[in-house]
Amino acid sequence: MSLPHAILTALLEKPSSGLELTRRFDKSIGYFWSATHQQIYRELGRLEAEGHIRALPSEQPARGQKKSYEVLPAGRAELARWTAASQDPKPHRDVMLLRLRAAAVVGTAGLEADLRRHLDLHRLQLAEYQEIEQRDFPPGKDAPQDRLRHLVLRAGIDLETFWTQWLTHALEELAELPGSERA
Amino acid sequence: MSLPHAILTALLEKPSSGLELTRRFDKSIGYFWSATHQQIYRELGRLEAEGHIRALPSEQPARGQKKSYEVLPAGRAELARWTAASQDPKPHRDVMLLRLRAAAVVGTAGLEADLRRHLDLHRLQLAEYQEIEQRDFPPGKDAPQDRLRHLVLRAGIDLETFWTQWLTHALEELAELPGSERA
DNA sequence: CCCGCTTATGCAACTAGTTGCAAAACGGGG
DNA sequence: CCCCGTTTTGCAACTAGTTGCATAAGCGGG
């Protein structure tokens, strides 16, 4: 149950409307939590009903009109509680690893193209993160908040780096395999 | 929709009952796909209904009786199709990264203990994988199937290695932060 | 002025995964 | 032989996330 807390964090960083939140979830927030606009609007409604956030009064709340939200003290308290609470790590699920394990049994036919495609996607993502790092975390900018946010970004960068290396290695192995399309 | 394919892969590697599958999902299969026994039984039922697997005839199918399954040709074909089909990578979601980003806003109070706990868990998992590697993939064992499975295990090992390093780094940063429990 | 495109919000139905619980058979102890 | 704990199977309800679509307002061009 982390989406509401992701939204609270984002709103504390900057009060926003649903669409603005969606855009931010597609960018910086997206590298550790993704969400669609439908999820976000639903959750904004819930958070408002619970008294954790409220719509900024200035704007009128009609459909098709921008409606911005800000976090209330109760919301900040809930976020602090959640952040400090112990949580078990969720088991990971990775489709590509599963496909490779399946390929060990039913053959690797057709896999290579998709491995290459994923490699390109991860390279692209990595480049994007590195650009963010250059732009937002130049050396010397180390207020506590920046250090923590930089740490999170580093995780994103290192994970993408790992995947590009692993996929490269996988493609090499695949190329060396004897009959590449054994049934 | 990958659970049925994880099950097909596991059953091709070795026909099993629901409980045996559950045990294997807790061990080797678990490092890229996890599932509870409830999920597995439900899915076994579906796969049987679809004609992808069948119960081994030898055993009688009463409740509380072991019932083992094997993959039928249709199931193998479906797995091969799925393995070769192009799939988009799923966006990642990581609660710990989210919590750290939240901590940049609401303070790091209470985080350290859980970071340490996660570090221990990842170290434990890493040790377990390394043990599997020593046992199952001694140097020189490189039939095609082994190479692919080893590659998958390497991903698990390298990911756990990454997390132990990152968490260690995070703890260092946290220790250096000025007021460790600023609200 | 009204048509169609974009922006912004949102509902509803579906899919996948989780949690809680229970029933049937087996096996050992009294 | 029967009671009770364990093994194995399974249903049902719930939670979270995804997909598809709808509705309202603003805006620019013919």
CB-nearest partner of B33 from A93, A155, A156: A93
- Backbone φ and ψ for B55, nearest 5 degrees, come out as -70, 140
Note the pLDDT tens digit of each residue in B40-88.
Answer: 999 999 999 999 999 886 544 445 567 899 999 999 999 999 999 999 9
Crossing angle for the helix pair A111-136 and A95-106, nearest 10 degrees? 160
Say whether B2 and A86 touch across the interface (CB within 8 A).
no
Say whether A32 and B101 touch across the interface (CB within 8 A).
yes
Say whether A5 and B177 touch across the interface (CB within 8 A).
no
pLDDT at residue A66 in the model: 74
With H, G, I as helix, E, B as strand and everything else as coil, classify residue B105. Answer: helix
B109 to A81, A175, B85, B105, B183: CA distances (angstroms): 9, 50, 46, 11, 8
B140 to B78, B84, B147: CA distances (angstroms): 32, 28, 10
- Most A CBs within 10 A among B12, B32, B71, B177, hence the mutation to make, goes to B32
User: Are B8 and B76 within 8 A, CB to CB?
Assistant: yes
**pTM beyond cutoff 0.75:** yes
Which of the residue ranges A17-31, B106-120, B167-181 would you say has the lowest mean pLDDT?
B167-181
The residue whose two tokens read 């190329």 is A175
- Structure tokens, A60: 């009128």
Interchain contact A46–B (C-beta under 8 A): no
Question: Strand D nucleotides below 7 A of a protein CB?
Answer: 7-12, 15-21, 23-26
On the question of pLDDT at A13 being above 90, the answer is yes
Give the Cα separation of B12 and A160 in Å (integer).
Answer: 32
Note the pLDDT tens digit of each residue in A133-148.
Answer: 999 998 877 787 899 9
**Percent of chain A having pLDDT more than 90?**
75
User: Residue-wise over A20-58: b if at least 16 C-beta within 10 A, else e?
Assistant: bbbebbeebbbbbbbbeeeebeebbeebbeeebbebeee
Say whether A148 and B173 touch across the interface (CB within 8 A).
yes
Interchain contact A67–B (C-beta under 8 A): no
Note the pLDDT tens digit of each residue in A92-142.
Answer: 899 999 999 999 999 999 899 999 999 999 999 999 999 999 999 988 777
pLDDT at residue A183 in the model: 42
* Helix, strand, coil in percent for chain B, rounding step 5: 65, 5, 30
As a whole number, mean pLDDT of residues B102-106 equals: 95
22-41 of A, contacting B, C-beta below 8 A: 29-34
Give the Cα separation of A115 and A120 in Å (integer).
Answer: 9
On the question of pLDDT at B121 being above 80, the answer is yes
Q: Where residue B176 falls among pLDDT bands split at 50, 70, 90? A: confident
pLDDT at residue A144 in the model: 79
Q: Looking at chain A, which residue has its C-alpha nearest residue B174?
A: A148
- Backbone φ and ψ for B70, nearest 5 degrees, come out as -130, 160
Give the Cα separation of B98 and A155 in Å (integer).
Answer: 11
CB-nearest partner of B102 from A9, A111, A183: A9
Q: How far is the CA of B18 from the C1' of D8 (A)?
A: 8
- Structure tokens, A121: 């996607």
pLDDT at residue A141 in the model: 73
On the question of pLDDT at B124 being above 90, the answer is yes
Note the pLDDT tens digit of each residue in A48-81.
Answer: 999 999 988 664 544 556 789 999 999 999 999 9
Average pLDDT, chain A: 90
- Structure tokens, A76: 């900040």
Query: What letter does residue B36 receive in the DSSP assignment?
Result: -
Give the Cα separation of B120 and B107 in Å (integer).
Answer: 23
Q: Is B135 exposed, middle or buried (0-12, 13-18, 19+ CB in 10 A)?
A: exposed
